[in-house]
Structure 1
Amino acid sequence: MADSGFVELKLDYTAAAERCAAGDVVHSGVLHAGGHAWRVGCYPRESKVDDKGEYISLYFERFGESSNNLEAIFDAFLMGGDGQPCSFHATGCVQYFYREILATPVYFTKNSKISVQKPPEDWGWQRFVNRRDLESSSFMVDGKVRIMCVVIVLRDNAVPVPPSDIGAHLGGLLDRGDGTDVSFLVAGETFPAHRAVLAARSPVFRAELLGSMAEDKMACIPLQDIEPEAFRAMLRFIYTDELPVDGAVELINGGSSSSSAAAAATTKNMTTELLQNLLAAADRYDLNRLKLMCAQRLWDAVSADTVAATLACAEAHGCPELRKMCLEFFAVDKNFKKAVLTEGYCRLMQRFPSVIDEIGALIESRDNADQR
């Protein structure tokens, strides 16, 4: 859980510039965040002795025992004379994210020995702001500069929790066929499954398998108007909530519900045609996440050769997000000139003439805008 703290460092720049050499530091007051005490070290002439002193350096420091599992965001920005934060020189509101080092050096102050976590260079900014730029800016008021410093602690000694593996477990259940109580016959291929899993994921399956429809009593349900590859990929998504990456989909060999051995896995490219069929299946069974994932894959692969077919798929299966992007693609002159020559465009004209009219209106609007 995040916890934050802040402190305003008020630097007497004129005095510090006169008496400080490179490597000399001016400290802020202490701030508290995430159960730790912090302070900020400001180096008016940079933090390294061999530096030229052209910049102000700024680093965060932590008091106390070290922690090997602490993550924090450090932020610092100049404050204007009106009390408003700046957007000056790209130093304002720039955040940094780091993990602590283990060693905890001991340092001495004039009053007592204290344990301070010495910051590495990436705990701040070696070149926080150019001194010449600062001196000529409105952030210098009466020789003084105000710097707001913020620490946000994201995690400290958290118990490591592994990522969810429920998808892997359910995917294994599908692969092994353990406890299946329903199967689907798709173009001669049989797909065993579990009624409860399908019903939990799809309201359409829930109505078919657990409601008063005829299918709720059938052990093997024949399906029409769906390709085996698309149904296989959809079934895999239902159990794992994932589509494969890198353009491949795991396909589990079909078998009867009596099969005891685990099905063998094969790999097939996620072609545009398969993605379109899968989007149609997702629409049919009200799997909106799968539908949008297919839409994104189709859009990633869109070209002048495929855009018409992809637009027809989006129009037929109610995917307004994909439809809008395809129309915008058509509105680009070079894309339109290539796409109208494809077979997909001819089919689009036959199935959805209103979409063709919409494309024409977009192009006319674009041409009118170009003439202005």
Structure 2
Amino acid sequence: MNHSCSKVREAVSSTIRLHIEGFSITRASIKDDDVAVCFRSRCHVDGHDWEIRFHPTLYVHDGQWYCPALDLVFLGESRTTVMATLSCKVIDRQVCYYGYEDYDFVPFEESKTVPSAFRRPMDQSLPLYIGVGKAEDKYDFHSSLTVDCGVREPAAAEGAIAVPSSGIAQHLGELLRGKGGSDVTLFVSGETFAAHKSVLAARCSVFMAKFFTGRGEDNSLQRVVEIQDMDAAVFKAMLRFIYTDEASELDVKLDAAAMTFAQHLLIAAGRYGLDRLKVMCERTIALGMDASTVASTLALAEQRNFPRLKAKCINFIAEGSPENLDAVLATEGDLKDIRVTASDLHQHLNGFLQSQAGADITFCMCGESFAAHKNILAARSPVFKAEFFGEMEEKTYQCVEIQDMDAQAVAGTVMAQHLLVAADRFGLDRLKVICEHRLSICISIDTVASTFALAELFNCSQLKTKCIEFINRGSPENLDAVTATEGYRHLEESNSFNELSSRFERWGEPVVMGDITIDP
């Protein structure tokens, strides 16, 4: 089976159109308690990343009746519980036997799960079954299935400002490709790779020990490092994973060359303590294993101490007879304990910041100091990139004073306002939207005027719209309360006053605002 997905719409809800080409279930390809390979499609809803998984035969009865199902997986992490609902509707099912149509699958009506609570990475909803089908004796027909899968976060149903997904992996990937600010050269099998010690150390304990916790020689000054006993292509894939937490080399057709590469990458991941990459490689190898590779894979798992992969090899040999080999290969039921966890890129960088290991820049503000790493700051902020690696004079400084910014602002709305100003100053677009989102859900009579002025000053169009919507929904009593706030008095002195005042309406009455009278 092949699948494709297209995004139908995205706001505080998202709909993915999943098209399965070759959706045909035969009796030979299923057996009781067997779970077929699942197809995955990702979406983004209001600042959260999700994965929708489609299981063609999640439930099987009597060796011939099957029920496809969907489930929803949370890919992020949240300090508060995120509520979400998964819905689905089969919109097209086509089966053609020798030129005429017939149907072996009956879809259910449009259905959805009850709202589920998500908080930790890989939290998963209950399965949502989409229909029931009868497996055929043989595969002599062309078929396809198209399903609309929807994800909705009920708490965000009133049009909160949508927060874009994290761009940290993209930013670090661009840092690697651009080579700006690189402070170490890695020499591997005749090829060289420019890299950044701070990123390597944050992600890999081996590099951390080499650059910042070594004894004797000051390895933090080492500019060239030779990597022995590793192919350059394998190291390149591992280096890209360190920066982006992705390994596209594993998302290819699993032929002999791809399997060999995955085995070499697995050895490299084990050598450098990259646990998530190691699991990704093990899973790829287990999925692509066949009679010609199982012996060498078992030898590798035994020699390098990969117990999960070893168990898969032994299970494959025990169950893989000529009659059921194809069915075993088509299933993923044995791989449930080789589970790739959510990206830990954020946690690694946060831990590295907290440790202050290898810090090469100190920020001073309001009598406090904060140690950081130039390369990571430059990857994330165009302002810091220009300061440290452009023509601005700060690039040679080891201490930078930040003026006109509070080191510790008070919590809540005021904190979000200060953080929005800082995000705008340093070109951190996603952080700016996060602050807009936070401020938009906290708009009240006391804050709407000052929030509107802030949105106008820093060109926050979505936040400005939320303020206007709040005012348009206001009652006469609430509008009087708004005009009595300190924020409104400050607003009267700004250029935004006329625009905001035009939004105040009372039903059938003129509105008096200072010296301005507005007739509805």
Q: TM-score, normalised by structure 2?
A: 0.39
Contact 1:72-1:152 within 8 A present in 2 as well: no
Q: Whole-Å Cα distance in 2 between the matches of residues 205 and 274 of structure 1?
A: 22
Residue number in structure 2 paired with 1:150: 145
Contact 1:314-1:322 within 8 A present in 2 as well: yes
Q: Whole-Å Cα distance in 1 between the matches of residues 69 and 393 of structure 2?
A: 70
Residue number in structure 1 paired with 2:29: 64
1:37 matches 2:24: yes
Distance 1:342 1:216, change over 3 A: same
Q: Whole-Å Cα distance in 2 between the matches of residues 317 and 126 of structure 1?
A: 50
Contact 1:65-1:104 within 8 A present in 2 as well: no
Q: Whole-Å Cα distance in 2 between the matches of residues 222 and 167 of structure 1?
A: 26
Point out where structure 1 has 5 or more consecutive residues left out of the alignment. 5-31, 40-61, 74-95, 107-115, 129-147, 231-268
Distance 1:305 1:222, change over 3 A: same
1:200 matches 2:349: no
Q: Whole-Å Cα distance in 2 between the matches of residues 326 and 223 of structure 1?
A: 31
Pairwise CA distance, 1:283: 0.3
Contact 1:72-1:97 within 8 A present in 2 as well: yes
Q: Whole-Å Cα distance in 1 between the matches of residues 148 and 468 of structure 2?
A: 46
Pairwise CA distance, 1:97: 6.2
Contact 1:2-1:152 within 8 A present in 2 as well: no
Q: Whole-Å Cα distance in 1 between the matches of residues 358 and 445 of structure 2?
A: 47
Residue number in structure 2 paired with 1:348: 491
Residue number in structure 1 paired with 2:480: 337
Q: CA RMSD in A?
A: 4.0
Pairwise CA distance, 1:297: 0.6
Q: Whole-Å Cα distance in 2 between the matches of residues 312 and 36 of structure 1?
A: 56
Pairwise CA distance, 1:202: 0.5
1:274 matches 2:415: yes
| 1:31-180 alignment, distance < 5 Å | 37-38=24-25, 64-66=29-31, 67-71=34-38, 100-101=57-58, 103=60, 105-106=62-63, 116-119=64-67, 150=145, 157=332, 160-180=339-359
Distance 1:366 1:288, change over 3 A: farther
Residue number in structure 2 paired with 1:296: 437
Pairwise CA distance, 1:153: 12
Task: Indicate which of 350, 360, 369 corresponds to 2:501.
Answer: 360
Q: Whole-Å Cα distance in 2 between the matches of residues 69 and 168 of structure 1?
A: 33
Distance 1:127 1:339, change over 3 A: closer
Distance 1:342 1:100, change over 3 A: same
SS in 2 for 1:228: coil
Distance 1:345 1:153, change over 3 A: closer
| 1:233-272 alignment, distance < 5 Å | 270-272=411-413
SS in 2 for 1:150: strand
One-letter amino acid matched to 1:3: H
One-letter amino acid matched to 2:444: S
Distance 1:152 1:341, change over 3 A: closer
Q: Whole-Å Cα distance in 1 between the matches of residues 504 and 424 of structure 2?
A: 30
1:185 matches 2:185: no
SS in 1 for 2:408: helix
Q: Whole-Å Cα distance in 1 between the matches of residues 425 and 69 of structure 2?
A: 56
SS in 1 for 2:503: helix
Contact 2:23-2:144 within 8 A present in 1 as well: no
Q: Deviations over 1:315-336 (max 9, x none)?
A: 2222111012112222334242
Pairwise CA distance, 1:300: 0.9
Q: TM-score, normalised by structure 1?
A: 0.53
Point out where structure 2 has 5 or more consecutive residues left out of the alignment. 5-18, 41-52, 71-104, 111-142, 150-329, 510-518
Larger radius of gyration: 1
Identity of matched residues, %: 33
Q: Deviations over 1:159-199 (max 9, x none)?
A: 74322111110001000001000010010000000000011
